[in-house]
Structure 1
Amino acid sequence: MAIMSLVLAGGAVTGLGAAMLRPDGAAPAAPAASAPTLPPGDPSNTTRLVHHERITGDISPKSVVASPSGTVIANNMMYNHTSTLYDASSLELTATVADTVDLAEFGHPERAGETTGAPVEAVFSPDGKHAYVSQYSLKGPGAGETATDDCAAGDAIGNSAVYRLDLTTNEWDQVIEVGRVPKFISLSPDGTVALVSNWCDSSVSVVDLAEGEELRQIPVDSAPRGSVVLPDNRTAYVAAMYADELYRVDLVNGQSELVLETGRKPRHLVLSPDASRMYLTESGADRLLELDTATGEVLREVETGREPRSMAISPDGLALYVVNYYANTVTKFDTETFEAIQTVEVGQNPIGITYEPTERRVWVANYAGSIDVFDDTAARDGTMEP
């Protein structure tokens, strides 16, 4: 099957491997947005989670992600084929966006007709005006064989894409081709580059967001998932989940280096606010690691609940929130002591989590069909902040 090429309508059409390094070896600069202004409150390792509300409806959220400006997106994969948007203050559903596109409108006329995606993960642009959403697979005219986590169809699986959502119109306005079965997506701090984990290609795609095109694919190892990009906008870390490995990746020269053999199934990475530390969940080992971002060295480790998957960090960097998929719980860790300070029950199969900064709330995506929202402003003695 011919490799497809997808870009913003009206832009040049390019195929995989066609994009080369920029003459200066870097993506064009873009202004970074300022950090969100947090409501006043105590340090996050001195507060406790209090359940606020459970959101239900026609959802099966694989992930939930908060913008810096009061919007939350949940991605409902192939079971509902939607991304749902919520107002962070009222918790009201503001939009349901289907994953259906016509690729002819995005630079691929031979694939005219209805194509459906399967939203997995999302990341917001620094200004909060767009959300980039990875699509597990594309199904429609010219698509390849059915994508599965075991990648059984091999090279016959078609390449997929990242969709860009305009938060003003709540419509997809860009489709960017990446590899096969893309899952996690992270952004460089300056907002110019996205890093996309291609599960069935054992690679990551480096995407130039200004041009809306893939620059290159960088090989890592089996089942890449979580990633972070450091403040130099060039160095990234990627967890290869089925290889039990952690890689350091250079986004400009395309090189990757094995830096750590991990416990079973390393899944998700987050950075501390100052980027001096990163945290890694080992979902098959029920363990949370703290690592030095300069060296990749493990500094501390602690046990979690059963099968930790995604996690979030508070803006002050003092609390980590980890979902325990098979325990149906979320555990809050103090990053100063690296000890668990609270565990709360949530819905069935919690899989995604985000810290919503404008309201100081933690949102938890439960794969079985709900989202739990917690306030994180109560004092540890049980009193509420005024």
Structure 2
Amino acid sequence: MSASRILTAFGLTGALVTAGVAQAGIVYIPEGSADSVLMVESETGQPVGRISGVEAVHGLAGAPGTPYLVAGSYSEIDPESAAQTARPEGVSQADHNAHHAKPAKAAMPTDKGLSLVSVIDAGTGEVVRRIEVPGAVHHTAVSPDGRWAMATHPGGDGVSLIDLSTLEYAGFIATGPMPNYVSFSPDNSRAYVSNAGNGTLSELDLDRRILSRNLLAGEGPEHFALSRDGATVFVADAEAGRVLRLDIASGAETASYGFGAELHGLDLSEREDTLFVAVKGADQVAAVDLASGAVRLQELAPAPYHLTVADGGETLFVSSREASMVWAVDQVSLRVTAEIGIEGEGHQMVVLP
């Protein structure tokens, strides 16, 4: 792609945030097996720092105005080794114990695995707390008010709730088989979880910490995008190669968009008039005009994977499942404007102002 700028991130360690960069939007890209998060300026695609020491990071979430990023590890740890984690030199035992917070035994399921969620200071890149959770984490979410975080456990048939006001584990909520993606309602009272194992979207009541109802969502729902008013959700029925548009209140399917190949990430434009979809199985990125249903397709290879829109800008960011790179893509033309070299694999990206 001759028009692209190749931007590599080699040699960037730590969180190299300057006052000028902090005022621009930052794209945080979890780098999976590289155990790190790359920070990229959203307007230029220029790498500005890297957060290290976040093992097998897959899920990553944040919210505007919230000081934290929440990163989930897709690998499980041995309980005995977790209990014997070495205390760094110069750190008091009390501070070390707080840094590696253990949930109340009554709240933690005893029949699950064990993994870690890292709470990261979004400004400095410092990991301020690691919280034990019951099993490998796929995706994470942060509530719009910054009070709660949630992590999905595909091997544990449920999600963990984390209180970001206290940085403590707040409990486990059973959802369905193979929970994949998660998002909060705009009023912070509910959360939604896609269950790839039984074709449902679970609605969770956060006040009562229970599953309140299930919406039918195709065969194997994975990523989804919730409208800003919380009335509509667009769900990727990934292997079936289609996106379902569901009315939240009634649970009814109001539209379906077929792509004929396996899907992965999707997101809504800032004006919510366009839906962008990574058509991984066909090496394409798609833009759906939601008023007319018209679909524009653009080749993007290899294997477009996670996708996120940079609100306030003209760019969407798409990672590759098969190459260590993220594309910056113009939302109107769907043409690549930059290629960003990363380490590992680019998973659940988040853009913060």
Code of the aligned partner of 1:207: I
Q: Does the CA-based 8 Å contact 1:68-1:128 persist in structure 2?
A: no
Tell me how far apart the structure 2 counterparts of residues 139 and 346 of structure 1 sit (CA, whole Å): 36
Q: For residues 60-71 of structure 1, what are the structure 2 equivalents within 5 Å?
A: 70-71=25-26
Are 1:333 and 2:288 an aligned pair? yes
Tell me how far apart the structure 1 counterparts of residues 23 and 261 of structure 2 sit (CA, whole Å): 30
Tell me how far apart the structure 1 counterparts of residues 293 and 131 of structure 2 sit (CA, whole Å): 39
Are 1:270 and 2:270 an aligned pair? no
| 5+ long unaligned stretches in structure 2 | 11-21, 83-109, 335-353
Tell me how far apart the structure 1 counterparts of residues 314 and 260 of structure 2 sit (CA, whole Å): 24
**Residue number in structure 1 paired with 2:255:** 300
Are 1:344 and 2:289 an aligned pair? no
**Residue number in structure 2 paired with 1:82:** 36
Deviation of 1:176 after TM superposition, in Å, equals 2.2
Code of the aligned partner of 1:310: G
Match of 1:131 among 45, 66, 69: 69
Are 1:192 and 2:130 an aligned pair? no
Code of the aligned partner of 1:126: P
Q: Point out which structure has higher relative CO (alpha carbons under 8 A, 6+ apart).
A: 1
Q: Residue 304 and residue 199 in structure 1: after superposition, are their counterparts in 2 closer, same or farther (change >3 A)?
A: same
**Residue number in structure 2 paired with 1:208:** 163
Deviation of 1:53 after TM superposition, in Å, equals 4.5
Number of aligned residues: 294
Deviation of 1:357 after TM superposition, in Å, equals 2.1
Q: Does the CA-based 8 Å contact 1:56-1:371 persist in structure 2?
A: no
| 5+ long unaligned stretches in structure 1 | 1-50, 59-66, 101-116, 145-154, 380-386
Q: Does the CA-based 8 Å contact 1:68-1:357 persist in structure 2?
A: no
Q: Residue 220 and residue 191 in structure 1: after superposition, are their counterparts in 2 closer, same or farther (change >3 A)?
A: same
Match of 2:58 among 101, 117, 120: 120
Tell me how far apart the structure 1 counterparts of residues 71 and 144 of structure 2 sit (CA, whole Å): 17
Q: TM-score, normalised by structure 1?
A: 0.70
Q: Residue 303 and residue 97 in structure 1: after superposition, are their counterparts in 2 closer, same or farther (change >3 A)?
A: same
Q: Residue 295 and residue 194 in structure 1: after superposition, are their counterparts in 2 closer, same or farther (change >3 A)?
A: farther
Q: For residues 134-213 of structure 1, what are the structure 2 equivalents within 5 Å?
A: 134-139=72-77, 142-143=80-81, 158-213=113-168
**Residue number in structure 1 paired with 2:100:** none
Code of the aligned partner of 2:63: S
Match of 2:50 among 89, 96, 103: 96
Code of the aligned partner of 1:357: D
Tell me how far apart the structure 1 counterparts of residues 202 and 79 of structure 2 sit (CA, whole Å): 36
Tell me how far apart the structure 1 counterparts of residues 331 and 188 of structure 2 sit (CA, whole Å): 31
Q: Residue 93 and residue 57 in structure 1: after superposition, are their counterparts in 2 closer, same or farther (change >3 A)?
A: closer
Q: For residues 304-315 of structure 1, what are the structure 2 equivalents within 5 Å?
A: 304-315=259-270
Q: TM-score, normalised by structure 2?
A: 0.76
Match of 1:228 among 183, 187, 200: 183
Are 1:72 and 2:10 an aligned pair? no
Deviation of 1:339 after TM superposition, in Å, equals 3.0
Q: What secondary structure sits across from 1:270 in the alignment? A: strand
